[in-house]
Chain A
Amino acid sequence: MTSVAEMKAIAGPSEIMEVSMGPHHPSTHGVFRMDVRLEGERVVRLKPVFGYLHRNHEKIAEHGAYLAAIPYTDRLDYLCSMTNNWGYVLAVEKLAGLQVPERAEYIRVIVAELTRFQNHAGLIGFLLQDMGASGTPLMYAFREREKILDLFESLSGARMMCNYMRFGGVRVDCSAEWLDEVRRLVATLPRFLGEFEALLRSNEILMARTQGVGVLPRELAINAGVTGPMLRASGVNYDIRKVDKYGIYDRFDFRVPLGEHGDVYDRYMMRLLEMAETVKILEQALRNIPAGPVMDPKAKLRGLRPKVGEAYGRIESPKGELGFFLISDGSTIPYRYRVRPPSMINLTVLEDMCLGQNIADVVITLGSVDIVLGEVDR
């Protein structure tokens, strides 16, 4: 048998190998390619290549009425259509000066927080799947997600492409039975969270695999414009629900969890802690939801002509700051429509997080960023 030293002597000095991971690699969560240069198993360069799922979203929206862009926003981050709708209608409401009735604001908070919960649950499931915990955590996460999607279906008619919010409110009012069902579900969520946490939180293998891996330093996170749970995992207290207090978020009592190290483990824990805060917001919203109309009587579905000007609506989507920038020239179609996608901007620091790490760690670092390629490529 030849020893390692003898093998090295035969093979000569190690060469740089270029590997194209993706676009159809199962760990890339969609059609995304990483151009990786490896020295042995160590990453020396990583270039993200995206655009495989480009669908011309912004240009399409500039060719249709304001209303016609809402179903397209569902398809940006196709796991969180409710929050995408909210970001867009918020921008249009600022542009057109519409007031959202109280009940509609509460319904928006409820569906947005349910969306956040199911997104984080799904993300953790996939992240653990990337680490090798195949199946079990993902199955538990999807079981809860399934219940939330059923609620979305009975409210809006579709499980994922909800197309539910409108400028000046929401499309249909929710029934008392629907609210009761949400209450019943929210009551079971803390138990699920506890189990989900106990499943792997103190697992030695998971800790060895994630702690100190894919570290994103605080300064770099701020400089690169990273937002959402990824930024907070690096220890920066920045949550648009707290900063902007859009909608009625100033009425809810919740905390913003913060990480310390900015590694994959922190980003994993950040999602778990945020889910617990989401349950708190949901409980408060379900307790205080008032009766009343769900649409601004001044709002027009067809032929909306906002006055000349520009508006930027931004929300804390489950992935980070989701912003919509609109310029109106006074006609029925937006003059300029631009999306600030959190997935894509969070992805730009991937190389910095992966340099010097093993190739297997690239997979879990990418998984912890939480990307959806529909939003990255638009």
Chain B
Amino acid sequence: MLGEGIIQGLMETARNFFGSYVEKERLVTVQFPEERRSLPEATRQFPFLLYDGDDPERGLRCVSCQICEKECPPRCIHIEKSKDRKPDFVGKQQFYPAVFNIDVSVCMSCQICVEVCPFDAIRMDTEFELSTSDRFGGLLWTKRELARSNEYYRQIHPTEAGECDERRAKELADAQAKAAAAAAAAAAKAAQAAAAPAAASNGAPGSGAKSEPAKKVVTQ
């Protein structure tokens, strides 16, 4: 019969219309600004820089190695290395970024900077309402605007932040254990060296060669 197919189609439309009142999967939209969906944990928008403690200037994890700058596909990261150094979380002297800019109008949210960063210093934010009337200054984020605390990171990506914290705690413990061992070895060497001159008072070149390895351990 002519028109049968049309009636069949209209029945489907009716089923969907009435079904949307009872079945949740037939109506998936939400009224956006009033109603919001919770974002999945993996969501990524734009990068931010992590800092430990309270001071975004001193606690910044970035050591200015510039790997992300080189690997960034659209080259939206600009880093200038500092002249001086400051201690990082394990107490090692490291450079820090004197300038760290991300041009968010160029960034394509690909997360490659996060993947290549060996210092857990850069992560992806979930914030997406970023419109601004200032095209140039407003979308060029400096070090200060990019810095976020570790607490914030734990809030937005709990699983990932937990793994990251664990890794860093282990690193810190290793470094402390190593430092303690080095200090103990140095103390033992020093005691040995103090005892040695008494035994061989005229062997000046020999004692000099002995003290050098001990020094090396300390610097490592």
Contacts and interface: CB of A to CB of B under 8 A. Distances in A.
Interface of A: 64-65, 67-72, 74-75, 136, 140, 143, 146-147, 150, 153-158, 161, 163, 171-172, 188, 195, 198-207, 301-302
Contacts, number: 85
Interface in B6-62: 6, 8-9, 11-13, 15-16, 25-26, 28-29, 39-44
Contacts of A153: 39-40, 42-43
A301 B68 CA distance: 13
Interface stretch (B111-119, B175-183, B198-206, B210-218): B111-119
B85 to A, nearest CB: 24
Indicate the size class of the contact surface on chain B. 20 to 34
A302 B67 contact: yes
Contacts of B9: 198-200, 203
Contacts of A68: 71-73, 112
Nearest to A206: B5
Contacts of A188: 25
A67 B39 CA distance: 27
A91 B192 CA distance: 61
B124 interface: yes
Given A171-B115, A198-B9, A199-B12, A71 B73 contact: yes
Interface of A: prevailing SS: helix
B8 A202 contact: yes
B8 A163 contact: no
Interface-central residue, B41, B43, B73, B116, by most chain A CB under 10 Å = B73
B130 interface: no
A23 to B, nearest CB: 24
Contacts of A72: 73
B163 to A, nearest CB: 12
Contacts of A198: 8-9, 11-12
A3 to B, nearest CB: 31
Interface of B: 2-6, 8-9, 11-13, 15-16, 25-26, 28-29, 39-44, 67, 71-73, 108-112, 115-116, 124
Given A68-B112, A171-B115, A195 B16 contact: yes
A147 B28 contact: yes
B17 to A, nearest CB: 10
A235 B201 CA distance: 99
Given A143-B26, A153-B40, A154-B40, A195 B12 contact: yes
7 contacts: A67-B71, A146-B29, A154-B42, A202-B4, A203-B5, A301-B116, A302-B116
Contact of A71 (B8, B13, B108): B108
A291 B177 CA distance: 36
Nearest to A207: B5
Q: Kindly name the residue among A65, A74, A199 whose own CB sees the greatest number of chain B CB atoms within 10 A.
A: A199
A199 B13 contact: yes
Nearest to A188: B25
A140 B8 CA distance: 16
A128 to B, nearest CB: 11
B102 to A, nearest CB: 16
- Closest 5 pairs (CB-CB, A-B): A202-B5, A71-B110, A154-B40, A157-B44, A68-B73
Nearest to B26: A143
Given A156-B42, A198-B8, A204-B6, A163 B110 contact: yes
Nearest to A184: B25
